[in-house]
Structures are given as C-alpha cells and as structure tokens.
Amino acid sequence: MKNEKITERTEDFAKWYTDVVKAARLADYSSVKGCVILEPNGYAIWENIQKIMDGMFKECGHTNVYLPVFIPEELLKKEGELVAGFAPEVAWITHGGTSLLEERLAFRPTSESLFCDYYKNAVRSYRDLPKLYNQWCNVVRWEKETRPFLRSREFLWQEGHTIHETADEAIEETYRMLGVYKKFIEEYLAIPVITGRKTDKEKFAGAEFTTTVEALMQNGICLQSATSHYFGQKFAKAYDVKFLDRNNNWSYVYQTSWGSTTRMIGALIMVHGDDHGLVLPPKIAPKQVSIVPIRPQDELLEKCEEIRKLLSENGITSYIDKSDKSAGFKFAESEVNGIPVRIEIGPRDLSEGKLTIVRRDTREKKVINIDDVLDKTKYLLDDIQKCLYDNAKKLMDKRTYRCSTFDEMKEVMDNNPGFVYAPWCGDEECEVKIKEIRGTKSRCITDNEVHDSDKCVACGKKAKHEVVWGLQY
C-alpha cells in the first residue's frame, strides 16, 4: 500500500522529495527562516556518515580539531578572492548584548582564514609539516532559496585543512581526499559518481583549482556531493604562513581544503527513494532490520528478542517494534523510514518455526525457517547494498549523453536531462552561453583527451577540454 502522504515522483519530484523528508521524520522546518531541525532519523544517518568518514580520514593520518564559529572581519578580508566569493552569503554579528562591537564578526561560511591564522603561529620549520587537520562543525551561509539537506542557512559538514612543504605533496593530498570521498559515496551510500576538475568559473573562491564529486539524481539533476581544493600558496601569502625550509630559508606553505555536508542525505533520498518513502543502503542505515511481532505475546516477544540478540552479536543493528499500533501501520512505518530488512512473525509462524522476511528495495517477501534468519538477513543486506548501487549506475548510464552541438545539448536538457559530455574551447563566454539552457553548468573537466576534430559545443572553435555538463541543485 502506497503512503498517501507521499506525492508520486512522476507527478512532482520536488514535492515528493519534501514529502519523504517529512514522512520519514528526517527533518522539519524551524521557526528560523531557512534553517531546519534535524530529527532523530535524519541525525542518526549523519552520525553514521560522520563515524565512517572520520575513520577513513584518520586512516589517512588526519586528526580532528575545532576552531571558533566567529571570524573577525579584517581576518576574513585578508584573502580577497575568498571574501568576494562569499560576501553575498556571510552573516554578520554587529552587537554583543546591547553594545555595538568595535569590529564585525562573521559567522563562519568556511574556515580557511581561521586555519591560516592558527597555522602561522603553529609552524616554524619544515619539521612541523605536514599538518593534516579535519573539523566537524556547522557553518552559516545566507542562502536565498533553501530546501532541507540541499541548501539551508545553517548546515553541518566536515572541512579538512592541510598544509604541506611542497606543491607536489599538497596536490597529492587534494586528489587523495577526492578519492576518499568517491570511495565513501560509492561503497557506503551506494551512489555512483563522476570526479574531475572544476572550470575556473566554478572553482572555490581563492583556490588554484577545485576537484569535485558529482552524482546524478533520479530526475536527471546533478548534485555536487563533495569537493577538494588546492590553494597553492595563495592563502599562505595572504596570511603570512611560512616556515624555515631545508635550506634554512623562509618559504610559504602549500595548502588544501576539502569538505562534504549533510547534503549527502539529500542525495540518498533522491537516488534511492521511491513512492513509498526512503530507501537506505544497509551500510549507512542506522537501523538495518525492523522486527515486527504480530499480536505479540510473551513467547513471541521472547523469540523476537532472541532474534534481535543474534543479529546484534553478528554486527547487524535491529529493533523490535513493540508499539501499540496495528501490524499494517508498523509495516508502513518501517517502509517509509527506509529500513533495509523487515522481519514479520506471528503466533502461527512461531508454532510452525517460520517467519516472513521482506527486503525494502524491491518489497519482495519470503517465508523462511526461523533457524535461517541470520544467514538470510546477511545475504539480503549484502544484496540490497549491491542492487541499490547497480540500479543507480544503470540509471546514471541511461541518462549520460554525448553531444557535439549546442542544439543537441538543448534537446537533452529540455526533455530528459542528465550528465552531458561535450567539448569546450575553454572560454568563459561559452560557459555563460551554455548556461542559457535552463541554467546548465559545467560539472567537471574530464581527463579524456580531445581530438583535433573536436569543436566547442557553444562556439564551434577547436576544443581544449571535454567537460561534463548538467543541471544542478
């Protein structure tokens, strides 16, 4: 039975998305305009994302720190490109209590300036390098249009900030962290992605270059899911972050930053969700199995607890729904919340040594022997994880195109958008022209070589790069 609270995707994808967020109790709107409340179900997913990614960062040698949420105006202004890039989104504090502040304080939109201010006092010699730090925190950006998880004025993220002795080390770090993001998103979120370098127009303010992880939603709209930036010595020179090198000369450090946010939860919804609600990959699901006793009695509840304990001992998270609700309501609630596997068991099942096991992705039900519950659950969790990725990859492949003319690109974007591979001459004017097609933007420059015969999709001149283009959230 379809959840009547959820609009069908084909009817209104944006409304469907919001309906799933609310029905699955992931987030709710707050009285603060542009800000949302992360409800327990949504925050639990973020906790799992945080736990897994934090482990991956630490495997790479990073340690966690925490810097202030406030940035003095003069400090923020030291790197001109950064402040220019973020100026429209910065929220300012002008008063402390009833007193006017001598200097405005910005709520951090990003923390490069604070890290640089810290690094200039923390580094003296090449022996102090590299510094490999990460911060889990909130940031504030005064977005005009907001949507839960995708864009909000305050959101949670992680931001890595590293400094290095040489450019080669910093560039290697930039691409290493891009690879970490790709691995996490594909292996844990079951979302296929493409990676590449941003054009100069789309790179992070102040970066020498930006690399990106791009995912495609069911409706063909792209979502930037993580970025990794190489700053070279731009920030180091602006903030005077230098060290005594191996020749006993003062040198400026080479710097990177990289980040991902709660918008990954938005990607989970839009890549895997269906008209019945949320669909969670088992590797990221806070609760992997729901156990639903039908007409619960003491003996039945004891068996449910026995199953829960068996699953827990084997690393599978589960819960018993003991709520005073009908069985049908419990089934629907488990389904809308995206629980990967549901176990249903009633008094007759117990007497026959049977139970029903249901997979969330296909909603297929099977009656199995109770003694087989562990093996069957393990198999389903692995298979669901794989199938979710495979299905998302098929959809991405289906909505990936190659266009050689402006008209071909327009036809795709107007009727069935997705990732479009097309040659580009490298001129920003052509990038702006392509944006006339429903706001189409460059997603990333690929590593593929262009041939002499390749012509820019916008102007027809000789192409310098192959670029992936798309509509974006």
Is-contact 311 275, C-beta < 8 A?
no
The stretches of 255-321 forming alpha helices (DSSP H) are: 263-272, 298-313
Q: What is the pLDDT of residues 224-274, one digit of tens each?
A: 999 999 999 999 999 999 999 999 999 999 999 999 999 999 999 999 999
Is-contact 197 302, C-beta < 8 A?
no
Residue 279 has phi, psi (to 5 degrees) of -130, 115
Q: What is the pLDDT of residues 130-176, one digit of tens each?
A: 999 999 999 999 998 899 999 999 999 999 999 999 999 999 999 99
Residue 217 CA to residue 147 CA, distance in Å, equals 15
Q: What is the pLDDT of residues 361-382, one digit of tens each?
A: 999 999 999 999 999 999 999 9
Is-contact 43 265, C-beta < 8 A?
no
Query: Domain 400-470 - what CATH class?
Result: alpha beta
Whether 289-396 and 400-470 share one fold: the answer is no
CATH of 13-272, one of 3.30.70.260, 3.30.930.10, 1.10.3720.10, 3.30.360.10: 3.30.930.10
What's the whole-model pTM score?
A: 0.96
pLDDT at 3: 66
Q: What is the pLDDT of residues 274-297, one digit of tens each?
A: 999 999 999 999 999 999 999 888
- Does domain 289-396 sit in CATH 3.40.800.10? no
**Domain ranges, ordered by start, for the chain:** 13-272, 289-396, 400-470
